[in-house]
Amino acid sequence: MSVGLFALLKDVSLMAKAAAASLDDVAAASLKATSKAAGVVIDDAAVTPKYVVGFAAERELPIIRAIAIGSLKNKFFYILPSALILGFFLPWLTHPILLIGGLYLSYEGAEKILSYFKREASEEKGKDEKETIKSATRTDFILSAEIMALALSTVQEMSITNQFLTLSVVAFVITFLVYGSVALIVKADDYGIFLIRTARAPQCGKLIVKFMPYFLRFLTVVGTAAMLWVGGSIISHSIEYMGVHTHADFLHAMVDITGLTGFMKWLVETLIYTFLGLVIGSLIAVLRQARTT
């Protein structure tokens, strides 16, 4: 009896060690995957604050909460299951889907710029909260798909269970980081008012209140540029992966001609991808406008 109990305890110990090792693998893979997707995460955080610009202060957090919930639904109900299924059965279909997402992001970014030159139309129409949340959730879907695709590329050698656990951790962590940061950004002016009213640090509060409108406008510009950058980058890399290398060779040659390295090389590549996203997005916007008129 004692021998059987000892054997059982030994088996339990081995299973616990295996589970601990598996959790270590998941934690390490989650950190690696999150780091690899950091660029798109920053873009996501830069894009989102512009959606609450123009709404009453008391509606800012509810809008962010609704977008965050939509983001979690996107990741867990659609993107995560689809990523695992595609990665297992149809890995070749991933890049065509990402290409469509890149086209949509480029269109969204170009549309924002084109709408800037139609102020009279945008001023006549007030911002609709439901439409804003829908638009933000659609954009989040594309950015989340890109994040999860990058994360999936780092865990393809793992078991399907560990892939699921890793991507789940990445989905939760990234959503928390992005929308937690956005909530802090959009409510910073309220904190400034609090500092002024309570006389705890009135000068600091005044500085925050004065600075935040400019910062939010800056984030609006950065968010639009980020959509064009990520969109152009996805389009370029997806087409290259599908076997068309001419444009990629041309882009690499342009960068190589400059002889730049490090940050400056990254900056030139970013500008090229942003311009590519703007051109393609503008073309889609013009074609869509022509079709509706």
> Would you say residue 246 lies in a domain?
yes
pTM to 2 decimal places: 0.68
**Cβ–Cβ < 8 Å for 291, 246:** no
Does the pLDDT value for residue 58 go beyond 90? no
**What is the pLDDT at residue 127?**
64
> Would you say residue 199 lies in a domain?
no
> Would you say residue 92 lies in a domain?
yes
> Would you say residue 222 lies in a domain?
yes
Which of the pair, 236 or 24, is modelled with greater confidence?
A: 236
Two tokens at 97? 């889907």
Does the pLDDT value for residue 279 go beyond 90? yes
Two tokens at 82? 């689809």
Strands (E), the chain: none
- Measured between alpha carbons, how far is residue 224 from residues 38, 91, 108, 229 in Å? 18, 30, 8, 9
**What is the pLDDT at residue 124?**
43
**What is the pLDDT at residue 43?**
58
> Would you say residue 4 lies in a domain?
no
- State how many domains the chain has: 1
Q: How far apart are CA 283 and CA 167, in angstroms?
A: 35
For residue 287, what are the domain limits? 20-186+212-292
Indicate the pLDDT class of residue 129, thresholds 50, 70 and 90.
Answer: confident
> Would you say residue 192 lies in a domain?
no
**What is the pLDDT at residue 61?**
84
- What average pLDDT is seen over the chain? 76
**What is the pLDDT at residue 275?**
92
Which residue carries 């867990």 as its tokens? 76
> Would you say residue 197 lies in a domain?
no
Which of the pair, 275 or 242, is modelled with greater confidence?
A: 275
What is the C-alpha end-to-end distance of the chain, expressed in Å? 84
> Would you say residue 200 lies in a domain?
no
pLDDT per residue as tens digits for the range 68-111: 899 899 889 998 888 888 877 887 887 788 788 889 888 888 98
**Cβ–Cβ < 8 Å for 282, 110:** yes
Percent of the chain with pLDDT strictly greater than 90: 5
**What is the pLDDT at residue 102?**
85
Q: How far apart are CA 157 and CA 146, in angstroms?
A: 19
Does the pLDDT value for residue 283 go beyond 90? yes
**What is the pLDDT at residue 128?**
75
Does the pLDDT value for residue 131 go beyond 90? no
Q: How far apart are CA 217 and CA 166, in angstroms?
A: 35
pLDDT per residue as tens digits for the range 142-173: 778 877 877 776 777 777 887 888 888 888 88
Task: Name the least confident of 8-22, 48-62, 244-258.
Answer: 8-22
**What is the pLDDT at residue 282?**
93
pLDDT per residue as tens digits for the range 201-257: 888 888 888 888 888 788 778 878 888 888 888 888 888 888 777 777 777 777 777
**What is the pLDDT at residue 119?**
58
